[in-house]
Structure 1
Amino acid sequence: MALPTYQDVMLPLLQAASDQETKISDAIERLAQTYQLSEAERTQLLPSGRQTIFANRVSWARTYLSKAGLLATPRRGFIRLTDEGRQLLTTHPPRIDNDTLMQFASFRAFRTRDHDPVDNGGLQPPPILAHATLTPDEILRATHDELEAALAAELLQRIRTGTPAFFEKLIISLLIAMGYGGSVTDVDKALVGKSGDNGIDGVIDQDPLGLDRIYVQAKRYGEDNPVGSGAIRDFFGSLDRVKASKGLFVTTSRFSPSARDTAEHLSKRLVLIDGDKLTRLMIQHNVGCRIQETFYSKAADEEFFE
């Protein structure tokens, strides 16, 4: 089953709290049992790896219930039902979500804080939660992913309209940025010179001492022109002629299933990088792109306030 959203768990979390202090970790466990989450669902981590997705969503539910005055946090890691929260439960609501919380003045103030119409030219304040099923940090990550997808598409288009020589140089620059072959001054040295010479476009040291080498084949193809198994076998033959044990095949398109199957069963180690993976690596290692703006996601330091 899909993990419940942070708004889904608002009512169960309020019900899990009591007049006495309740440990938030116990409430999370109780909710996991309520939703009959599998072990995989319970342990699925955020991209940061510091917290599970389910625990994060419960924490956001706690935050918004607290902003509405329905939950109190008497000390670190604990929650307690407030009089307002107890009163709301007596009405037996079928669900509690952001619309429910808007009836409380403290939550309305929280939703509109820092968005005074007088200070922003009379514009109406945008809602904090534009997506009903996503927490604010999930919205931030989704926006980040969308920006990276757009950047990847732009990078791939620019590579496809460049020259074959530029593409080969880009591959070597990326490998150097990833820690292979030395410094950027080694780029030209790593290129074979004549595109497609013996089926090999570049040679780069795998380690700083040059004890092992990676042979590179680059194919600047269009989206509708996948690399087939024949090109993989040709590259394998080129590696065999230079007595190489491993090679890297990079394309701006994709590899056909038969090409991937061929590479998997050959006696030499061949790594295949298609256009999607290529642009992801470029973004990760800042090749062909640069940081435009940096945002920091911060949280209260609980230890500071103890």
Structure 2
Amino acid sequence: MLPLLQFAQDGKEYKVSQLREELARKYRLTPEERRELLPSGTQNVFDNRVAWAKTYLVKSKLLGAPKRAHVKITNRGLRVLGEKPDSINVAFLKQFDEFSAFISPNTSKDEQEATPTSNEFHTPIEKLDTSFRDINQKLAVELLDYVKGMDPYKFELLVIDLLQAMGYGGNREEAAKVTKKSGDGGIDGIINEDRLGLDKIYVQAKKWEGVVTISAIRDFGGTLLAHSAQKGIFITTSDFPRTAIDYCEKIDRTIILINGKHLTELMIEFNVGVAAKKTYLLKEVDGDYFEA
């Protein structure tokens, strides 16, 4: 926030996009750093932080917003720069009543001052994304415990349900053929890669205690060869050794390895074995409405 305010100290009116480029140059950000995304993948981290820095400075009356996406330093902003602060963070901005009212409209100033504030700058969107990720990580751990407790055959059905939810095959009957409990030759399921069944994907779904052995992966590769199959998915509730990953990268068939962690992440993403508890709709100002 301090560098942003400093760039505007000449009193001119600036586009926020101009200040964003100035800040990127100041911090010598690489193109890769500029493209870094928030955990949600919806926005660049840098762009999001600049936008919130601008919002916080405007709400503190250190910057004015003469028109949409433009800012201009205020007399208060010039006074703050004249004090030569080492940095400007949320704790610093709480001295201004306008900012305190913005971040905690229903909290008294004494309560705000009693609340510890980190000097590290995290935007509300970053905090929301981080909280959402933490909740899902805890959910994934709980979900994996349930999956590990399933009957092995029901686990195979779960895997087919997940692949079908991800878009493989058509309806439940068309999507997959789950093989019998025994005598399946190392194949637990066969699922259509597309609605028309132009190609088949062979599935191995195993509840496993400890790391899956490389011999199990080699056996699966041999089974694909015996079926003249080109594509396979090996899914487990545990994990794979590095040797298994290396093996799958070298053979002339495609084998995708999905461990327990990845399995639960996919189940959460595609709503298999989970149910929505609460939905939050994030909104922003529709600038086109006000300009029309």
Same fold (TM over 0.5): yes
Partner amino acid for 2:65? T
How do 1:1-306 and structure 2 match up within 5 A? 10-17=1-8, 18-46=10-38, 51-115=43-107, 132-186=120-174, 190-195=177-182, 197-222=184-209, 225-306=210-291
Would the alpha carbon gap of residues 196 and 106 (structure 1) be closer, same or farther in structure 2, given more than 3 Å must change?
farther
Would the alpha carbon gap of residues 51 and 142 (structure 1) be closer, same or farther in structure 2, given more than 3 Å must change?
closer
Would the alpha carbon gap of residues 260 and 295 (structure 1) be closer, same or farther in structure 2, given more than 3 Å must change?
same
Take 1:165 and 1:236, find their aligned partners in 2: how far apart are those partners? Answer: 21
Would the alpha carbon gap of residues 124 and 93 (structure 1) be closer, same or farther in structure 2, given more than 3 Å must change?
closer
How far does residue 170 in structure 1 lie from its aligned partner after superposition?
A: 0.5
Take 1:14 and 1:113, find their aligned partners in 2: how far apart are those partners? Answer: 25
Take 1:242 and 1:143, find their aligned partners in 2: how far apart are those partners? Answer: 46
Would the alpha carbon gap of residues 139 and 130 (structure 1) be closer, same or farther in structure 2, given more than 3 Å must change?
farther
Are the equivalent residues in 2 in contact too, given 1:249–1:271 (CA < 8 A)? Answer: yes
Describe the SS at the equivalent of 1:198: coil
How far does residue 127 in structure 1 lie from its aligned partner after superposition?
A: 6.2
Are the equivalent residues in 2 in contact too, given 1:229–1:260 (CA < 8 A)? Answer: no
Take 1:285 and 1:64, find their aligned partners in 2: how far apart are those partners? Answer: 36
Take 1:103 and 1:197, find their aligned partners in 2: how far apart are those partners? Answer: 71
Percent sequence identity over matched residues?
43
Describe the SS at the equivalent of 2:185: helix
Q: 1:6: which partner in 2?
A: none
How far does residue 261 in structure 1 lie from its aligned partner after superposition?
A: 1.1
Give ranges in structure 2 of 5+ residues lacking alignment. none
How far does residue 47 in structure 1 lie from its aligned partner after superposition?
A: 5.1
How far does residue 276 in structure 1 lie from its aligned partner after superposition?
A: 1.3
Partner amino acid for 1:260? I
Describe the SS at the equivalent of 1:197: coil
How far does residue 259 in structure 1 lie from its aligned partner after superposition?
A: 1.0
Give ranges in structure 1 of 5+ residues lacking alignment. 1-9, 118-122
Would the alpha carbon gap of residues 71 and 209 (structure 1) be closer, same or farther in structure 2, given more than 3 Å must change?
same
Would the alpha carbon gap of residues 195 and 145 (structure 1) be closer, same or farther in structure 2, given more than 3 Å must change?
farther
Partner amino acid for 1:86? L
Describe the SS at the equivalent of 2:215: helix
Are the equivalent residues in 2 in contact too, given 1:112–1:127 (CA < 8 A)? Answer: no
Q: TM-score, normalised by structure 1?
A: 0.87
Q: TM-score, normalised by structure 2?
A: 0.91
Q: 1:5: which partner in 2?
A: none
Would the alpha carbon gap of residues 280 and 37 (structure 1) be closer, same or farther in structure 2, given more than 3 Å must change?
same
Would the alpha carbon gap of residues 195 and 75 (structure 1) be closer, same or farther in structure 2, given more than 3 Å must change?
farther
Take 2:90 and 2:223, find their aligned partners in 1: how far apart are those partners? Answer: 63
Would the alpha carbon gap of residues 48 and 74 (structure 1) be closer, same or farther in structure 2, given more than 3 Å must change?
farther
Would the alpha carbon gap of residues 132 and 246 (structure 1) be closer, same or farther in structure 2, given more than 3 Å must change?
same
How far does residue 77 in structure 1 lie from its aligned partner after superposition?
A: 1.6
How far does residue 115 in structure 1 lie from its aligned partner after superposition?
A: 4.3
Are the equivalent residues in 1 in contact too, given 2:235–2:259 (CA < 8 A)? Answer: yes
How far does residue 241 in structure 1 lie from its aligned partner after superposition?
A: 2.2
Are the equivalent residues in 1 in contact too, given 2:90–2:119 (CA < 8 A)? Answer: no
Would the alpha carbon gap of residues 237 and 50 (structure 1) be closer, same or farther in structure 2, given more than 3 Å must change?
closer
How far does residue 82 in structure 1 lie from its aligned partner after superposition?
A: 0.6
1:99-123 deviation per Cα after TM superposition (whole angstroms, max 9, x unaligned): 2212212112223314479xxxxx9
Take 1:171 and 1:235, find their aligned partners in 2: how far apart are those partners? Answer: 17
